[in-house]
A and B are shown apart, each in its own frame.
Chain A
Amino acid sequence: MARKSSEAVSKLNRRRLLKGAAAGGAVVATEAITGFPTVWAQNIKDITLVVAGGSYAVIKEIGEQASKDLGFKLTMQAITDDVQLNRSLTQPQTIDINNIDSTKMPYLVGKGVLAPIPVAKYKQWADTVPLFTKNAYPDGRQASNQGLSPFKSMFYEGADGKKLATKATDFLTFIPTIYNADTLGIRPDLVGGRDKVTTWKDLLDPKFKGKTALVDYAPVGVIDVAMALESRGDFKYGDKGNMTKDEIDKTIKIMIDLKKGGHFRSFWSTFDQSVNLMASGEVVIQSMWSPAVTAVRSRGIDCYYVPLKEGYRGWFVGVAPMAHLSGLKLDCAYEYMNWYNSGWQGGFIAKQGYYSAVPSTARKFLPPEEWDYWYDGKPAAVDIKDPYGTLMEKKGTSRDGGAIWDRMGNIACWNTVMDEDRYLTRRWNEFVSS
C-alpha cells in the first residue's frame, strides 16, 4: 500500500510539474496524498460507482483522478437538475453517488433513496468550514437562516434518515463539497461604469428596461426579485427563502407588471444562455453565476460580478451515497467522499471560482498565487488560467467581491425550496404565460 501511495505521489508530482510549467506559475508544493487508498480489498478494481449530478461538479477529470488514486472505477454522468431529482426517485439504482444540491434535500428525505452518513465516517469534519458545522462565520457571527441554510438541510434527526433536523446532529444528509455566493452580473462598459450598480434594486431600474434577464427557475428567480424589492423598499419579507402565499402574490404581481412593460429581455435556463446574453450585449444586468462572469471576461468582454450592499444569495452542494449501496460498494463510496475533500478536487474546482468545504486541503493543491487570487481576494500576481490552460484573468486583477469571507460572510439568503412551493410553481407558470 505504501508503494501505491508513492507511485501515486510521483505521478501527481509529474503532472503538477507539467501543469505548473504550462501555467508559467510556480511549481506546486509536492504534497503527497497521504492516506489513500485506505480500502484494501482483493476485488476492489472490479467496483464501478456511477456518480451523477450537475456538470459544474461532475467532471470527467475528477472521476479519472479519483479512479487513479483510489483503485476502483468512477464513472461520471452529467445530468440536469430535474432529471437528477426524478431519476433519484424513480430509478435510484441507476445512481450510486449523488452529487446533489442542498435544495433537493426536502424532496428526497424520507423516501428511502439516500443513506444517512454518520459524521464519524467523514474524516474532514473538524476541518470543514464552520459555515457547515456550526452555521456560523469564522468570526463567530451566525450565518443567515433565510432560505435553506446549512443547518436546515444537512442533518437528519436520527439514524433512520426520515426527517431533517434544524441543528447539527450526528447524521449528515450529504458531505458539503462546493459552495459560492451569487449576485448580479453587469456589463460595466454598457451601464457606464462599475459603480453604477450597487444595490439589488438596480435590477428593477427603468433605465435597464429591455436589457435585463433572470434565471428561468421559480425558486431562485423569485428570490432575486425579492432581494430587489426589499432593497427598493416596497416591502419587507419575513423569510425571502420561504415566502407566504401573500408575499408570493405581491411579488408575482409586480413581476407580471414588469414583464408586460418589457423590462425583461429574456430568461435563461442554461449557463451558456446566460453567458451569451451578456457577451452579446443583449442584456446588461442579470442574475448570473460566477463562472459565467469569468467566461464572459475570458472573451475580452468586461463583466463585473457586483458585491451588492444587501448581500449575496448563497448556495452549496454535496455528495451523498444512495441507500441501495452496501458492503464493499458503500465503503468505496465513503472512500470517494473522503478523497473528494482531501484536496485535489478542491484545487481543481477553485479555478471555476467555487470554494471547497475544506479550504486547508485545497490550499495544498493550489499554487500560492492562485490561492491568493481565488480565496484571499488579492490581486493576481500571475495570469490566472483554468485547468485546461485557457486564460481567465490577467495579472493584476482581483476577484470581484474580494476574499472568501467578504463574500461568503455576507449571505442574505440561501437557495431554497419553499413550503409554498406548489403555489409558487402555479403562480410562476402564470407569470410566464402572461
Chain B
Amino acid sequence: MALLDQTADGAMGAAPPTAEQLADERSGERASWWQTAPLVIVLLLFFGLPMLVVLAVSFFDFSRTEIIPAFIFDNYVDLFRSQVTLRLYLSSLKFAAIVWLVTLVLGFNIAYFLVFHVRSLLWQIGLFLVCTVPFLTSNIIRMISWIPFLGRNGIFNQALEGAGITSQPLEFLLFSDFAVIVAYVHLFTLFMVVPIFNSMARIDKSLLEAARDAGAGRFRTVAEIVLPLSKTGIALGSIFVITLVMGDSFVVRTMSGGQSASVVSALQNEVAALQYPPAAASAVIMVIIVTLMVAGILRLVDVRKELAR
C-alpha cells in the first residue's frame, strides 16, 4: 500500500520546533482565527444563543396552556421512561440506516461515473446540473406529485398494469414505509454524490494507471485505491444523509400518510400544542444522540486530519 502513503509534501523531519517556527505557527493560528471567525460568529448568534434558550426551556414545567419557568428533570425522565421514545428512535434509525445504504451505493456509482467515465469537464458540470434541476421546484410541490405518481391510480401503477406486469394496483407504493424510503433516496442521493465526487476528483489519475500497469483488475483497483481515497467524501456524505433523515418530519409524515412517525414529527405535534418543555428536552436528546453518531463516523474517518497537516 505504498501508493497510499504518498503525500504531496513528503515526510516531515522530527527535529524540535525553532523559535521562528513557533512564531510562524502562532501567526498561522491567528490567521486561522480570523478566517473562521465570521462563520463562528454567525453560528453562535443564530444557533448557539437559541440553543441555550431551548436547553433552558427543556427544564421548565408546563400545564395545558402555560409554560412555567422552573428547573426540573421531569421532561427528561418522562422521555427516558416512555415506550414511545424508543419506538420513535427505532423507526427513525431504521429509515436512516436503509436510506444511508441505498444512497451510498447509488451515490458512489454515480460519482464514479461522473469522475472516471465522463471525459469533459463541461459534460460533468452539465450532467450534474441536470440532476439539480428538480431541486429548484419546491419540495412541497414534489411531495404532492408523488400521489399521482405512485398512487393506486397513478401513472406508475397504470404503466405496470398496461405492460401486463401486474393486474392490480400495488398499494404499498404509497403511504407506506417503502414510499418514505423512496422519497428520502430521491431527495438525498445528491448529498452523497457531491462530497464523494469532490473526493474522487482529487485522486491522482496516475495512481490508477500505475495500478493498471501493475496488472490490477477493475474491481481490485476500485476496492483498493478508489474506495480508500474517497473515504472523506463517503464520510461526509454519510453525515449529511444521516442527519437529514434523523432530522426530518415532513417527508415521513407526507409519504407515510401520517402512519409512520419520526422523532422530529412527534416533536412537531408537541410544539403545535405549545408543549415546549418536553419537546425541547426531546430535541436536546436527539441532538446529543445524532452528534454521537456523527462523532462515531468521524472516528472512523478523520475528516480534519487530511485537511490540516
A280→B152 contact, CB < 8 A: yes
A280→B147 contact, CB < 8 A: yes
A433→B88 contact, CB < 8 A: yes
B84→A433 contact, CB < 8 A: yes
B25-61 to A contact mask, C-beta < 8 Å, 1/0: 0000000000000000000000000000000000000
Q: B271 within 8 Å of A by Cβ? A: yes
Known A-B contacts A106-B65, A216-B253; the reply to A421 vs B147 at CB < 8 A is no
Known A-B contacts A85-B274, A281-B152; the reply to A429 vs B257 at CB < 8 A is no
Which one, A218, A269, A420, A429, contacts B261 given CB within 8 A? Answer: A429
Known A-B contacts A280-B153, A428-B269, A430-B83; the reply to A216 vs B258 at CB < 8 A is yes
Contacts of A89 in B (CB 8 A): 274
Q: A428-B269, A433-B88 are in contact. List 14 more A-B contacts (CB 8 A).
A: A82-B271, A85-B274, A266-B175, A266-B259, A273-B144, A276-B148, A277-B147, A282-B153, A421-B273, A422-B63, A432-B265, A432-B269, A433-B87, A433-B260
Q: B128 within 8 Å of A by Cβ? A: no
Contacts of B174 in A (CB 8 A): 282
B146-187 to A contact mask, C-beta < 8 Å, 1/0: 011001111000000000000000010011000000000000
Q: Number of B interface residues, CB 8 Å?
A: 37
CA distance A276 to B141 in the complex (A): 13
Q: B91 within 8 Å of A by Cβ? A: yes
Q: A38 within 8 Å of B by Cβ? A: no
Q: Determine which residue in A89, A273, A422 has the highest number of CB atoms from chain B within 10 A of its CB, and name it.
A: A422
Query: Which of B254-280 touch A at CB < 8 Å?
Result: 254, 257-261, 265-266, 268-275
Q: A425 within 8 Å of B by Cβ? A: yes
Contacts of B112 in A (CB 8 A): none
Known A-B contacts A81-B272, A82-B268, A85-B272; the reply to A268 vs B258 at CB < 8 A is yes
B268→A433 contact, CB < 8 A: no
B152→A433 contact, CB < 8 A: no
B74-93 to A contact mask, C-beta < 8 Å, 1/0: 00000000111001100100
Task: Enumerate chain B interface residues (CB-CB to A < 8 A).
Answer: 62-65, 82-84, 87-88, 91, 144, 147-148, 151-154, 171, 174-175, 253-254, 257-261, 265-266, 268-275
Q: A291 within 8 Å of B by Cβ? A: no
CA distance A266 to B174 in the complex (A): 9
B268→A282 contact, CB < 8 A: no
A51-81 to B contact mask, C-beta < 8 Å, 1/0: 0000000000000000000000000000001
Q: A379 within 8 Å of B by Cβ? A: no
A364-393 to B contact mask, C-beta < 8 Å, 1/0: 000000000000000000000000000000
CA distance A417 to B275 in the complex (A): 13
20 contacts between A and B (CB under 8 A): A109-B65, A218-B269, A266-B175, A269-B258, A276-B147, A280-B148, A281-B152, A417-B64, A422-B64, A422-B273, A425-B269, A425-B273, A426-B84, A429-B266, A429-B270, A430-B83, A432-B259, A432-B260, A432-B261, A432-B266
Contacts of A265 in B (CB 8 A): 175, 257
Contacts of A267 in B (CB 8 A): 257-259
In this complex, what residue of B is CB-closest to A427? B84
In this complex, what residue of A is CB-closest to B82? A426
Which 4 residue pairs of A and B lie closest in terms of their CB atoms, listed nearest first? A266-B257, A267-B258, A82-B272, A216-B258
CA distance A89 to B271 in the complex (A): 12
Q: A107 within 8 Å of B by Cβ? A: yes
B152→A259 contact, CB < 8 A: no
Q: A419 within 8 Å of B by Cβ? A: yes
Q: A304 within 8 Å of B by Cβ? A: no
Q: A249 within 8 Å of B by Cβ? A: no
A107→B272 contact, CB < 8 A: no
> Would you give the shortest CB distance from A97 to chain B, in whole angstroms?
21
Contacts of A422 in B (CB 8 A): 62-64, 273, 275
A107→B84 contact, CB < 8 A: no
Contacts of A282 in B (CB 8 A): 147, 151-153, 174-175
Contacts of B261 in A (CB 8 A): 429, 432-433
A82-95 to B contact mask, C-beta < 8 Å, 1/0: 10011001000000
> Would you give the shortest CB distance from B114 to chain A, in whole angstroms?
36
CA distance A213 to B266 in the complex (A): 19
Contacts of B154 in A (CB 8 A): 280
Q: A127 within 8 Å of B by Cβ? A: no
Q: A210 within 8 Å of B by Cβ? A: yes
CA distance A276 to B143 in the complex (A): 12
Contacts of A106 in B (CB 8 A): 64-65
Contacts of B65 in A (CB 8 A): 106-107, 109, 417, 421
CA distance A194 to B259 in the complex (A): 29
